[in-house]
Each structure stands twice: as structure tokens, then as C-alpha cells.
Amino acid sequence: MIQLNRLLVLAIVIFIGFGSAAVAGMPTPLPTGWSAPESSGRLSVAFIERRLQALSFFIVCLFVAAFGIKLLWNALRRDLQWLPVITYGRAVAFTMLWGLLFVIVLTMISGARELMTPGAWQKQGWTYQLRDEVKEVDFVKSKKVKALETLRFALWRHAASNDGQFPEVSELSDKLLNIPGRPGLRFEYIPGEIVSGETTRLLVVEPTVDKGNRFVLTTNGVIGTLSSQEIFDALESRKLKVRYE
């Protein structure tokens, strides 16, 4: 029996060492844009070959793992005589059972992930992947809005105890004016303004960094966006039409 096990281990080593390259990965049961060619509406021969290669890789791993479990179990039985002898067939069944249990656990984790980040994942075949629109740009924008909200709170707190007068530039800390994700860049603060409930005047402006609209904070507490030309015109005419964020 020991001689047979050694021969089997040697055969597996030779098989792995001289085997040709195979495509592996987590296969999706249904054809998708990731796993099937987009140019044709039917399955190609090459796609079927890749799918069989991927499945055969995991089947070989299953049999090898079952053989390893059989050896470990019977080795443990030498010290624990009350353990029953496990055959190779039972080792395969045991490995498949634990594999199914892990699939259930991973499915529960995926469900919890979807609940914690609703809408961030889209179904692809029987699996999920991140949506394309979830980008770093949206994260940077949200950080800028939060920074402007923090700055607005500090400005209005100062104005509440100074008859509605906003502070001078020297009274603001650099931390409040720093732009998140842009080291060395600061929001442009326009001093000399007062809190305004009706008319809107520019108070804080994002410098020209990226293409597109720039974030602004007005004297009535509105955080929105304006184009560079609109900001220039607003500073000239003092009439604003801000897009709310």
C-alpha cells in the first residue's frame, strides 16, 4: 500500500512537471463578455477548449487535494486508533462537501458586500463585478464637497460671532483651505464678504485644476459648480446661477 502511494505521488509530480500550459481561473457557468468572444453570437471551438481546460484544472486540484487529505487522515489515525480508515472515494466526497460549504460561506459574504455597498456591483453571468461608473473621480469630488462643508462650518461659526462678517485670510488655517488629493493646492478665498441670505456672491472658488466645472461656495452657504467663464463673469457682475451639488 505504501509502495502504491509513493508511485501515485511520483506520477502526480511527473504529470505536473511535464504538463502543458492551461488556462485557469474562476469560471462563470454562463457565457459573458469576459468569458466568451463578443464578435460571434455562438460559442467558438477555442472558447470551449479554454473552458474545458479551466474546469479540468480544478478537477485535477480536487483529486490531488483528496489524495492529500487521505494521506493526512490515515497518518493521524496512527496516533488516534479510534479514527476509521478513510478510502480515496470517501476522501473525494469529504473534499467536495467542504468545498460546497465554503461556496455557501462565500455566497453569504458576497451578499453582505452587496448590502454594504448597494448598486456598486453588477451581475455578470453567475458572478458579480464592480460597475464601470464607480470611479476614483467620484470619490475625489465627494472629498472636495466634504472639505467645502468643513470650511463653510468654520466660516459661518466665525460670522455668527462677528455680525455676519467673514474672517480675513490670515485668520483661516491652511488645513481648512487645502484641497483633498491635491497637495500644495488651496481653495481661493475671497475676503471682505458678509453672510447674505438672498443675493449670492462668490466666497470660495476652486482653482483651475481639471477640465470642466469648478466647485464654489457662495455667501448664502450654497456649494455648487460653475465653469471658469461663469466664475469670471460672476466676479464682474456679482450675479450667480450656481448648479447645486
Q: How confident is the model at residue 202 (pLDDT cuts 50, 70, 90)?
A: confident
Q: Which residues contact residue 195 at a Cβ distance below 8 angstroms, ignoring those fewer than 6 apart?
A: 156, 159, 164, 166, 219, 220, 221
Query: Do 183 and 223 belong together in one domain?
Result: yes
What are 2-48's pLDDT values in tens digits?
566 666 666 666 655 555 555 444 444 444 444 444 444 455 667 77
Question: What's 183's DSSP letter?
Answer: T
- pLDDT at position 199 over 50: yes
Residue corresponding to grid cell 460571434: 40
* 103 and 159 within one domain: no
What cell numbers appear for 185 in the block? 493646492
CA 164 – CA 76 distance, rounded (Å)? 80
pLDDT greater at residue 171 or residue 121: 171
Residue 49 pLDDT grade (very low, low, confident, very high; cuts 50, 70, 90)? confident
In Å, how far are 93, 176, 218, 235, 240 from 199, measured between CA atoms?
Answer: 75, 25, 9, 13, 9
> For residue 192, which phi and psi values (nearest 5 degrees)?
85, 10
Instruction: Return the pLDDT at 36.
Output: 46
* Residue 153, pLDDT above cutoff 90: yes
Same domain, 162 and 210: yes
**Can you give the pLDDT at residue 6?**
65
* CA-to-CA dists, residue 187 to 65, 146, 174, angstroms: 59, 13, 10
Grid cell at residue 159: 460670522
Q: 237: which residues sit within 8 A by CB, 6+ positions away?
A: none
Any residues with CB less than 8 A from the CB of 74 and at least 6 apart, and which? 85, 86
Q: Supply the pLDDT for residue 30.
A: 44
Q: Which of 111, 130, 149 is the last residue of a domain?
A: 130
Residues 120 and 18 in one domain: yes
Over residues 76-125, the pLDDT tens digits come to 888 887 888 888 888 899 999 998 999 899 888 877 877 777 666 677 66
Strands 223-226 and 188-189, by their bridges, are: unpaired
Sorted by sequence, the CB contacts under 8 Å of residue 165 that are 6+ apart come out as: 158, 159, 194
**Which stretch of 27-31, 129-133, 175-179 has the lowest confidence by average pLDDT?**
27-31
pLDDT of residue 26: 46
Single out the residue in 130, 160, 191 at which a domain terminates: 130
Mark whether 6 and 78 lie in a shared domain.
Answer: yes
Could you tell me if 118 and 36 lie in one domain?
yes
Contacts of 119 (CB under 8 A, 6+ apart): 131
Domain that holds residue 228: 136-244
The C-alpha cell of 199 is what? Answer: 443675493
Record the pTM: 0.44
In SS3 terms, 100-115 reads as HHHHHHHHHHHHHHHH
Structurally, the chain folds into a number of domains equal to: 2
* Whether residue 123 sits in one domain with residue 21: yes
